[in-house]
Each structure stands twice: as structure tokens, then as C-alpha cells.
Structure 1
Amino acid sequence: MRFPRSQILSAALSFVLIAPVVVAQSSSEALSLNDAIRQALDKNFTIKAQASGTMASRADLSAEWGDFHPRFSGSYTHGEDGSPQSADPFTGNRPPSSIVETDTYNLGIGGISPWGMSYRLTAYSQNQRGTFNGFADNYFTFSGLEASQPLLRGFGYDANMVGVRIARATHGSSRWQYRQTVMDVVTSVINGFLELDFAHKNLDIARRSRDLAQGLLDENEKRFEAGSLSQADVTSARTRVATREEAILISERAVSIAENFLKGLISDEKTAALLSQNLVIAKAPALPDHHPDPAVEFMAALERRPDYQQAKLNVARTDANRRYRRNQLLPQVDLVGSVGYNGLDNHVSKSQLQVIDRDSRSYSVGVVFSTPLTFAAERGRYRSAKFSQEQAEMQLAQTEQNIVVMLGNAAGQIETTRQRVEVSRHSLGLAEQALDAELKKLRAGSGSTFFVLAQQEILAGAEISAYRAEIDHQRALAEYDRQLGITLEKHGIAIEGDTETKY
């Protein structure tokens, strides 16, 4: 997936849930997985925090472009300069000091271009008067263009656009990080929803197991009263009922923990009221099964994986800095010049009119040169920038290798959990048959309470293993989607811009 190129003034990160979902429910309705994802997109603090970071990086990019926008400036200064006169050598008298008063007005618009030229369109007026002219107004006016163009150091886009290029890469990385954050949160919501569903199933199994033990206890008590069963069988059944009551308490606590975890992902409640909110979920939907092929899907994963795209942007960022540092190895040679018109009169309006009429032209041109004697600092910074780029390239290669490994592991996990589902379902069927056989033997007088209770626990364990395998298979599918970078597309979530969230 490629993001559209960021615009300077308007880009927005928004989420659109395309897949059909149930609208906001009343408190009596069960929460579906799609509704849980919706609420997470709207309320999750991690997503909100990353969104603010993305907006901050966009503002930084806008600020870097702003450095090339023209600036208006103006100034006014007043000065008075008194110059003492030498004493008369014959009389020793000192004549009055000469005084020069100066008022200076300056207005201008200037800036710097992306290729390095600094410019300023200025209007300048100075009124200088004093004892030399009886304090009569004397306005000198200049209006024109002043410019300075670097020819070596500071010349070109590499030297002047480095801030924009780094900020653009940083903003792009932040947008990919936003996508990664949303993917991670959505995957966590899926896992949390599945774990809460499993916790409820585990609780149901514990209760059924307790009910089976209680049923056996009731039956054993009747048979004991009839004299066909020993007291030991009754005691054994009663012990197992107590043990399974404890298992119910543990399962209820597991439900509470799983419920709180999911509420923390989909709610923006910050007080203890979060703990008292009742969360009723619908049956977890089965994710579409997938037969992964990492070798085929690897290249497509690179285009969608945020970590890989961030690593590529980091290479671009370090490359921009390296090119800038290479430019700074050059001497400073600037072509400077100005062109404009002068005016001089006792009246400011007439002085300005002379400028407008272009009566007296003024221009200058020259070259300014400077260079360090050793370039030691510049060479050191350039070498550092080169090594930083090499490091970024190695990190990109490492990220690519990690993706291969993680895709392979995620694909292998899907195959393992798929086989676990098949095996656990088969084991569950056998456990049901074994329990039924032990009950028949007990009622026929050839079995024992011990074996029936043991088989009940084996059945409960088989049920839990079967549900656990199904949940783990669903989690493995969700994780493989995350490794491929297609979690958002799978759930109908589209990232469109930078600021607004819509459903």
C-alpha cells in the first residue's frame, strides 16, 4: 500500500470502517467484534497519542517549508552623534561641539530560495541633519533589490532542502507508525475479544464439570442409601464437587481479567468506573481461513509493512543529511550584488519621487570568499553522516530479513494450530465416548466412581483443549494478517488523511 503524497497545508488521517457492522447497541445487546474494533478506533489512547505525534510531524514539515516563505521587516532608529572640537591654540577656548542627528527608516521583504539565494527588496530612507547644515532636513532614499547567491557551499537543493527532506521523511515515518499502531491495536482487540470468549467458554466448561460431579454425587448418595454403593464413593464424589467449585472461582476471575483487558482497549474511561462497566460480547466470528505461502506473499508484505517502509524512510533521511554534509566540505564563495535607485532632497516626498523617477541608479556586484584552514570539523561531520547512512542501510536489510523470519513463523503457527484443532476435536469425541462407557459400567455395577470422576475431568480438559486450539488458530490467522500488513484491509479500515476520523 502506498500513501498519497503529503500536501503542505491539508492532509488528514481518517479511518473508514467499510465492512458492514452493527450500529451502536443498547446496554442489553452483545458487543460484536466489529463494534469492539470501532470503539477502539474512536477511543483507544494509544491510537490518539500516535495521531497527535503524526500531526506534530506534519506541523514540523510545514514549518520547514515556512523557512522559504518571504518575511516582511521594518525598523526605525534615531541617533545623535556629538563631536568635540579642538581648542584654539592661541586663546585656549574650545568651540561648541558639532552635532549630527540621524533618523533611519527601513522597510523590506526578503527570504531565501530552495537553491540558496538570499534576497531582500528594500526601501530605505535616512534624514541626516546637524550643525553642519543648520539642522535642516536632508533625506537620502534608496529602493532596490539586494541578493547573495552561494556558488559552492550552500548552493543547490541538497544544501538548502535538507530540513524539508528530513522532515518529510520523518512525517512519512510517523504516518507509517500510525498505521502500525492501528494494526497493533486492532490485532490486540481481536486477541482480547477471542480471549474473553475463551474465558467464558472455560467458565461454562467448569460449571458443566461441576454439574456432572454434582449429578454423580446425587446418584451416589441415592445408591448409598439403597445399600448398593460404599461411603467412600460418596465422599470421593463430594470432594470432586468442592474441587470443581474452586475451578469455577478461578475461571470467573479469568473472565474478569480478560474483560478488563478488552475494556482498556476499547474505552476512554479513566476512572474506576471502567471496572464496574458490564461487557457482554457476542460469539466471536471465525476469521477467514488462510493457507499461507510466505515465499509468494513476501514481496507484497514489504510494500505494506510499516516497519519496512519506516526503515526505507530512515535511509532517505540519512542520505539527505549525507548530501548536505558533503556540500559543507566546499569553500564559501558567494556572489553578492544589489541594484536600485537613490534620491536626495530636503523633503522626504521629493527624495522618494526621485527614486520613483529613477533619476540616480545605484548598483554593486562582488564576490565574498571564506574557507576553514583544515576542514577538520566538516570532514568529521561528513564521515559521521556516511556511517549513519550505512547503518540505516544495514537496518533496512535486517528488517527485511526479520520479515522473512516472522512471516515463516506466523505461517508455521497457522499450520500447527490447524492440526491442533483437528487433533483436539478427535480427542474430545473420544473423551465423550469414554465417559459414556464409564457411566454405563458404573450403573451396571462393574465400574467405579473414581474412574467416572477421572473421565469427567479428562472430558473437561479435552473441551478446554479443543476451544483453546480454535482460539489459537484464530489468533494465528490474525497475527499472519498483521505480519503481511493487511489487518486494516481485512477489517475494512482505510487510512485516508491526517486529522479526521469517520466511520
Structure 2
Amino acid sequence: MGFGSAVLGVAGTYFLMSHTGHRPAVQSPVQPPVTAEGRLEPNPPFREAQISLDPFSGLPRQQPDLLKVLTGNPSRMPNPLGRSIDSSVPELRLDSGARVQGNLAGTIILPDPTPTAWFQLKLEAGTLTAAAPALAQTKQVSLPTERELPLQLGDAVVLVLQNNKTLKNAYLQRLLDRRDLEVAEGIFNPIFEPRIEARYDRLEIGGVVTEAGQGDARIGATMLLPTGAQFSITIGATRSLRDESLNPTLDTLRQDLQVSLVQPLLRGFGADVTLAPINLARIQEQANRLLLKATLISTITTAIQTYRTLLEAQEQWIIQQQALKRAGDNLAYVQALVEAGRRARVDTLQGEADLARQQLQLKDAEGRLAAARLNLLQILGIDQKLTPVAIEPAALRQPIMAEADRLLPVALANNPDYLQSLLQIEAAKINLLLAQNNSEWNLNLVGTLGNNFNNVTANNNTTTVALVLTRQFGNLALDQAVERSRIQLQQSENRRAETLENLTVTVRNRSRDVNLSLQQVENARRVRELAEQTVTVQRERLQLGGRGVSVKDVLDFEDRLVQAKNDELAAIIRYLNAVTLLEQTIGTTLNTWNIRVESQN
């Protein structure tokens, strides 16, 4: 699809995705863009089609700058043509004859086609519905009726972001994560508690009836201060009516004001202790975002590998179909030679056996193709009655050698697991601070101020200032908490060191895999070229009736050619997957596809 830039807003989390054409504009640190050389053209029924959401996809575009894409606001991108954006929302249509319809709820915004086409998807309440507003002069394309769904690799990435069940659960979890952070950051907000009471009493003793009514209204407020102090204030008014048979009615009105302040001087004192819960919540929020990033990377990587499995299965099916056609041609040619008396009839048995074997292998290829289609539909989360067709060319990008020493700093700055280990150390330090603080003596400065007004008796004011010192003895849990926190800090540091070691080894292994698989691609290509030349020569010799060349020899060389083509295809897929796994390890998968996860303020 000619997707532009996308911002997927998910319950407080945005996903920014931007690329022009069929490939991401921002290149991977380990692989450059796709080239047309070496493309394996699919045969029917794999019809190549163009999928585009952009009505201006045929116009020339400029590649967007990575820094602008990752740091800029899509709504503030320049509009060089100066045209307004139509607010209408037509249906999402694909010009390939396929329709992508998920359960995403949101909007897609397409501004002017240059320098970059942008579209925006916003998730609301965890449910996704897709709709596409177009420009004022956009031409609408008719919907297809066929069930075939041609997909570029970029289309698969967009669909997995929209429909994958694992990602949907991760989006919903972000709703809870954001609310947890809001609760933690609201500890300094004042808490108000109003109270209203109405009461009636009736007492009868020896014929004397006493009736009393009382109404009480008050409001209290408490607030935590950054110093650790607890401030509270209560304002109230009470009115009482008392009526006795032998006494006049007594009407009493009382108003009161109570103010108190409890300031810790040892345990619980200071902004470091008071702000610790907020800092822990913010660290947890960062950890949750890293977890979401890891989930996105893992799911996208799996989708890419599954897509390439389908691509490989399609190409294998094509290769096997070509092999079956060659086997039929060989059999027909041998039968013609037999009819002409140039070959013995027994030679046709070898051709018939080879034809039957190629038919059997074609059935196996069809089975692998069907399984690959279902696996891709499952991870994309779309209708399993569709028939996905991978139209991405099974070709190499401009190959380069991966240098582990250059990629390791990138991994340290982007790998979610390593960044999680750093956050765990910071959280362990805060927990140790809290444990040490809880083990201290409890010394509080307490101040209270009270004012009471009564229409019957005299007013009274009270002021109290006190120092309160308390300490628990024999509570081993306090010392145990300190020791546990100290050990957990050491364990976190050890885990960080272990994660660093594992990451270093994995980056080196992934880099070596990329380099080795690239060499294997070149070797497989050379083997395939030699196999093609050999088959051509042997077929010519057989047609000319050359001595020493039998039908079996030609069939053997044909089998080697089929195997060489499959080996070259497998080598290309291995290289592409090796690059994808390397990107996953160094944490740049989202950058490769211009997807940014950011927190909503």
C-alpha cells in the first residue's frame, strides 16, 4: 500500500508511522532500500497488484527526514500546496482489488501529497475502526469483489498493528497503566469529604415527653505536602432543638473550625521520601512503555517472518510448477524421439517417473503454501476466508556488512530488555530509600488550632503544639525490609550486567548471521547460474544426439537446477530474516518502519 505517515493513538499512547511508496522512507541501520535487480517475477495465479491509500501515489515524492518524522508533529507538517483538507470520511478502498477492513476506530487524514503524505489513526476505548478522509478533489475507487488480497510487506505491518489480538490487549493494558500513573501523581491533590446529618429523637418518661432534633453539616479537607506534612481542616455547624413538656424549647447553634498539621521530622520527612511513590510510578510507566515497545517489535518481527514464509512458499510453488512443466516437455520430447526411432522406449519410463515425482512435489508445495497463508492471516487478525498474496519481491536490498562494534551502542540505547534492567536499578534504589526511612524513629511535630462558637455558652479557642516521639522495638520486619531492599538492588545490578553480556553476544551473533547469510546468497546465486548453464548445455547435447548423454542425466541436472533455485530463494529469505532479527535485537524495528511510541500528556 502507498501508506503515508500514521499516528496510532492508543489510550494515552501514540504510534507514529511514516513512509512513502511501498517501503519505509527511513532506512535500517543495517540494510538499505530495495532495488529492482534480482527480482523474482511471480507467475499466475500470483498476480502483482498495486495497493494504495493515497490518491496521489503516482506523483513524485520527497523522502521525509528521519529526525522530522520522529520529533515533528504530523499536524504541523508543511502544506506546500496550501490546500485545505476535506473533512469528509469516505470508505477505505484499495485500488488493487482488495479491501482491508479491521475493527479499528479512528480517522485517517491525508494532506497534500508532497513532501510527505500523512494519515492518522486514533484508537478509542480499545476498539479500532478504519475510515479514510480524502482531499477535496480526491477520486474514489470502486470496491473489489474478489477475495484475493495482494499484500506488500508494509501492508502486513500496518494490518498487524491494527488487528493483532496481542497488540489489542497491549493497547487495552495501556488504559490501566495511564490511570495508575494519574493516581500516583495525584497524591498532593486535596481530598474533600463533606458530611451532612439530620437526626430526630423522642423520649417519654412518666408522661413527660422530650423531643430533640439536630442538624449537622461540615466539610473536611486533607492534603499531603511535599515535606511529608499532613494538613487537614474541618469546618462545621450544628443546630439542635430540644422541646420538653415542662420546659421551654431550647435552640442551640454551634459552629466550629479545626485545623491540624502533622509534620514528620525523622521518618517520612523530606521531598525524596514524599516523592518516592510518584517516582516509582513514573519508572513503572517507562517500563510499561518499554514493554509495549517490546511487544510491538516482537509482533512486527513475527509478522515479517510469517510474510516471508508465505513469499518463500509462493516462489517454491512457482519453481515447482516450472519444474513440472519442464518434466512434461522432456517426456514429450523423449516420446517424439522414441517415435522417430532415435531412443529406446524404456527411456520414456524415466520421464514418466520424473513427471509423477514433480506432480507429487507440487502437491507438497501447495500444502506449504496453504499453511503459510493461514499463518499470515492468523497473525494479521483478518478474515481467514481471504487469500493473501505476497507481492513483495524476493530480492536483496543493497547488501552491506553488519559491524557488531558499531551496532552495540545502538542496541544499548534502544533494546527494551536492557533499558528495563536500568529502570529496575533505579526502582530498587528508591525502594531501599523507603525501607531505610521506615526503620527510623517516628518524630512528629503536631499543631492544632480550634475555634468553637456557641449561642448559649461562651466561645472558646484552643491551640496545641506538641512533639510526638514513637519507636517500635522488636519488630524484625523493619530491618528485614532494609536488608531485602539492599539485596534486591544488588540483584538488579547483576541482572543489568547479565543483560549487557547477553545483548553483546546476541548482537555479535546476529551480525555474523547477517554477514554469513549474505555470503550464502552469493554462493547460492553462483550455483544456480552454473546449474542453469549446465542444463542448457546438456539439453542441447541430448537434442543433437550426443554420445554419453542420457535422459536420466538431463533429469538429474534438472533436479539440481530446481534444488539450486530453492537454495537461492532460501538463502535470500534467510538473509532478510537475519537482518530483521538483528533489527529486533538492537531495538530499531520501530525506527525502520517509522513507528514511534510516545506518551500522551
Give the TM-score taking structure 2 as reference length: 0.71
Pairwise CA distance, 1:483: 1.7
Distance 1:394 1:287 in 2: 40
Q: Would the aligned equivalents of 1:11 and 1:497 in 2 still touch at CA under 8 Å?
A: yes
Distance 2:212 2:260 in 1: 28
Distance 2:295 2:209 in 1: 76
Moved more, 203-212 or 153-162: 153-162
Could you say what secondary structure the match of 2:13 adopts? coil
Pairwise CA distance, 1:277: 0.3
Pairing of 1:349-428 with structure 2 (within 5 A)? 361-428=461-528
Aligned Cα root-mean-square deviation (Å): 3.0
Could you say what secondary structure the match of 1:120 adopts? strand
Moved more, 383-392 or 463-472: 383-392
Question: Greater helix percent: which structure?
Answer: 1
Distance 1:482 1:215 in 2: 46
2:274 is aligned to 160
Distance 2:409 2:551 in 1: 60
Among candidates 231, 234, 242, match of residue 119 of structure 1: 231
Distance 1:311 1:185 in 2: 21
Distance 1:108 1:398 in 2: 52
Among candidates 293, 296, 310, match of residue 406 of structure 2: 296
Distance of aligned partners of 1:325 and 1:288 in 2 relative to their CA distance in 1, 3 Å threshold: farther
Distance 2:520 2:539 in 1: 28
Among candidates 192, 198, 202, match of residue 72 of structure 1: 192
Match status 1:280 vs 2:389: yes
Match status 1:205 vs 2:319: yes
| Amino acid in structure 2 at the alignment position of 1:314 | Q
| Amino acid in structure 2 at the alignment position of 1:310 | Q
1:16 is aligned to 17
1:478 is aligned to 580
Kindly indicate whether structure 1 or structure 2 has the higher relative contact order, using CA contacts under 8 Å at least 6 residues apart: 1
Unaligned runs of 5+ in 2: 1-10, 23-50, 54-93, 99-149
Among candidates 333, 352, 355, match of residue 219 of structure 1: 333
Pairing of 1:272-351 with structure 2 (within 5 A)? 274-284=383-393, 286-346=396-456
2:168 is aligned to 48
Distance 1:260 1:156 in 2: 59
| Amino acid in structure 2 at the alignment position of 1:477 | V
Q: Would the aligned equivalents of 1:158 and 1:324 in 2 still touch at CA under 8 Å?
A: no
| Amino acid in structure 1 at the alignment position of 2:384 | L
Q: Would the aligned equivalents of 1:18 and 1:493 in 2 still touch at CA under 8 Å?
A: no
Distance 2:399 2:174 in 1: 34
1:455 is aligned to 557
Map Cα deviations across residues 173-203 of structure 1 (whole Å, 9 max, x no partner): 1111111222222222322222221111111
Unaligned runs of 5+ in 1: 1-9, 86-93
Match status 1:244 vs 2:375: no
Q: Would the aligned equivalents of 2:13 and 2:600 in 1 still touch at CA under 8 Å?
A: yes
Could you say what secondary structure the match of 1:231 adopts? coil
Moved more, 458-467 or 293-302: 293-302
Q: Would the aligned equivalents of 1:414 and 1:477 in 2 still touch at CA under 8 Å?
A: yes
Moved more, 233-242 or 145-154: 145-154
| Amino acid in structure 2 at the alignment position of 1:488 | L
Pairing of 1:74-153 with structure 2 (within 5 A)? 74-77=194-197, 104-127=216-239, 136-153=250-267
Distance 2:575 2:247 in 1: 98
Pairwise CA distance, 1:103: 5.5
Pairwise CA distance, 1:327: 0.6
Greater Rg by CA? 1
Distance 2:573 2:465 in 1: 78
Give the TM-score taking structure 1 as reference length: 0.85
How many residues are aligned here? 467
Pairwise CA distance, 1:129: 7.2
